[in-house]
Chains A and B, each alone.
Chain A
């Protein structure tokens, strides 16, 4: 039973070391990626019809303000509108549009798909009252979306009948504490890995525990299996040279003990 416990503790130590190292690497990688400002940015460049929709699955998935930046390759006008997700989707309707649905952290991938096949409402939607905030620009427009109790979406259009063309969409979250959290995670991982490795090293160097005199042959056989040949050889030599009587865990035969007693006198 003690052997099983020892194996489990060694296994746990190894596991802790591995997880600690992984946490250290990930934390360090995240800290480098975020930088001291704690900024996580995701970008995608796509060919876009008249409308682009950055959905609530992206914006509401984060507990910090999101900066949405849409940049047209041709430098044309860009209009951004923020609305409740239901309202934004209602305004877009079946218009052909690029839907930005998800971002993946830490890979940085952005999932987007082209949907809708109806008549574009790009020129009409600007007149609605569903837009909580809007932003316009030439070539690029930017809008910062704060977390809200209700899901929000951002819609981008050219503000006219023309398609947006090739568009680069960047979503950026910034939270200074994220950098320090990543550093803390790396430090925690490093600490755990160091402790676990230290424990493993200590456990491997520790001598094999001795057995009591009442130990059975089966026990001795077990010890013999775990010990190295060199150790067994040394023990055997020591027993022959210094026969100091029956020792715990040795296999000195009963008749040899008399010799030992004579020699000691």
Chain B
């Protein structure tokens, strides 16, 4: 009996030793590295909120400061078209307070973070919402970061339209997919925006089978264009063109499908003065083109339009949820 047990005892001893060796390999805590996780947000929610707070704090400072300090704060808060809009507003307001209008991003309070883009690709975005202190309609903001060495800044801000709602996104820690290419959407964002821009032009152009619902912003644009054309009809011709700014579309997927689509459009109002006639330039024009109070030949005014659509997942029309505009440039002779 003892003889038969000996090999077993020795084998058990060897096994014990080997298990001891296995435990010894963890003495310094060495372990296989974890696999990269791509189905998460690249930022922890507290970090993302801190970034949003930083951007809106800088936006508020740009409003209250002047000169170089204000310029620096604007560059910290905004990027791209939003920076162009903020600079233009500051220039208009310097001529006459309130002349630049009230871009929504410039008086934010208590920004709320709604979504963070998922994964480690570039560009990355965050969706935030502010409610202006005056109690007006909430404002949707898109913050973008194009690469690892450029911080997030506000790229698009637009006031929500009355009675519009934004469906919820996936949890912040999980992140939300960027579906700018139209994956899983009823209509490709680029197609939607191109069609929408075309539908706003003046003289009006009929768009066949639009993929969007009628909205008050478009109605107001068309009415203003018709009114403008009518008011200068005796002195000049008037046309209005809308075009999508290249690279200015971002679609962020929402929970349960569909996406919130942010886009930049550029509107160009063109006045062609009839021979022997002249137009008196408005204050906005002279603020951007100092000394040019009379237009005798041709004038253009460029306005940035910042729009946000809700696009359904499978079928149905897109709905405009938010829109704002800012005059940014003028030229004339």
How many Å lie between the Cα of A170 and that of B245 in the bound state? 50
Q: Is the CB of A128 within 8 A of B148?
A: yes
Q: Is A100 an interface residue (CB 8 A)?
A: no
Across the A-B interface, give the 10 residue pairs with the lowest CB-CB distance, nearest first. Answer: A12-B10, A60-B33, A91-B148, A90-B148, A86-B120, A19-B17, A9-B6, A16-B13, A124-B149, A105-B28
Q: A9-B7, A61-B30, A63-B31 are in contact. Are A150 and B13 (CB under 8 A)?
A: no
Hey, what's the 0/1 contact readout for A128-153 against B, CB within 8 Å counting as 1? Answer: 11101000000000000000111100
Contacts of B37 in A (CB 8 A): 149-150
Q: Is the CB of A127 within 8 A of B32?
A: no
Q: Other CB < 8 Å A-B pairs besides A23-B24, A105-B30, 12 of them?
A: A9-B7, A12-B10, A13-B10, A15-B14, A16-B17, A30-B24, A63-B31, A88-B148, A129-B51, A132-B44, A150-B37, A196-B10
Contacts of A148 in B (CB 8 A): 34
Interface 9-residue window, one of A158-166, A173-181, A254-262: A173-181
How many Å lie between the Cα of A181 and that of B17 in the bound state? 14
Q: Is B16 an interface residue (CB 8 A)?
A: yes
Q: Is A67 an interface residue (CB 8 A)?
A: no
Contacts of B3 in A (CB 8 A): 2, 5-6
Q: A9-B7, A12-B7, A90-B122 are in contact. Are A56 and B24 (CB under 8 A)?
A: no
Can you name 19 A-B residue pairings with CB atoms under 8 Å?
A: A6-B3, A8-B7, A9-B10, A12-B11, A19-B14, A23-B17, A26-B24, A90-B147, A106-B28, A127-B151, A128-B150, A129-B152, A149-B40, A151-B33, A151-B36, A178-B27, A182-B24, A192-B13, A196-B10
CB within 8 Å of B: which of A155-202? 173, 175, 178, 181-182, 184-185, 188-189, 192, 195-196, 199
Contacts of B16 in A (CB 8 A): 188, 192
Closest to A27 in B: B24
Chain B's nearest CB lies how many Å from the CB of A84?
Answer: 6
Hey, what's the 0/1 contact readout for B131-160 against A, CB within 8 Å counting as 1? Answer: 000000000000001011111100000000
Q: Is the CB of B148 within 8 A of A181?
A: no
Q: A9-B6, A127-B150, A128-B150 are in contact. Are A178 and B17 (CB under 8 A)?
A: no
Contacts of A192 in B (CB 8 A): 13, 16-17, 20
Q: Is the CB of A189 within 8 A of B20?
A: yes
Closest to A150 in B: B37
Q: Is the CB of A87 within 8 A of B6?
A: no
Contact of A62 among B30, B47, B120 (CB under 8 A): B30
How many Å lie between the Cα of A62 and that of B43 in the bound state? 23
How many residue pairs bridge A and B at CB < 8 Å? 140
Chain B's nearest CB lies how many Å from the CB of A93?
Answer: 8
Q: Could you say which interface size class chain B belongs to?
A: 35 or more
How many Å lie between the Cα of A170 and that of B11 in the bound state? 42
Q: Is B21 an interface residue (CB 8 A)?
A: yes
CB within 8 Å of A: which of B20-66? 20-21, 23-24, 26-34, 36-37, 40, 42-44, 47, 51
Q: Is B18 an interface residue (CB 8 A)?
A: yes
How many Å lie between the Cα of A103 and that of B197 in the bound state? 58
How many Å lie between the Cα of A24 and that of B118 in the bound state? 50
Closest to B4 in A: A5
Q: A87-B120, A173-B28 are in contact. Are A151 and B34 (CB under 8 A)?
A: yes
CB within 8 Å of B: which of A1-55? 2, 5-6, 8-9, 12-13, 15-16, 19-20, 23, 26-27, 30, 34, 40
Q: Is A64 an interface residue (CB 8 A)?
A: yes
List chain B positions with a Cβ less than 8 A from chain A: 3, 6-7, 10-11, 13-14, 16-18, 20-21, 23-24, 26-34, 36-37, 40, 42-44, 47, 51, 120, 122, 145, 147-152
Contacts of A26 in B (CB 8 A): 24
Contacts of A34 in B (CB 8 A): 27-28
Contact of B24 among A88, A124, A173, A181 (CB under 8 A): A181
Contacts of A195 in B (CB 8 A): 13
Contacts of B27 in A (CB 8 A): 30, 34, 178, 181-182, 185
Closest to B47 in A: A132
Chain A's nearest CB lies how many Å from the CB of B116?
Answer: 11
Q: Is the CB of B13 within 8 A of A128?
A: no
How many Å lie between the Cα of A236 and that of B117 in the bound state? 95
Q: Is A220 an interface residue (CB 8 A)?
A: no
Q: Is A125 an interface residue (CB 8 A)?
A: yes
Closest to B126 in A: A129
Contacts of A93 in B (CB 8 A): 148
Closest to A180 in B: B27
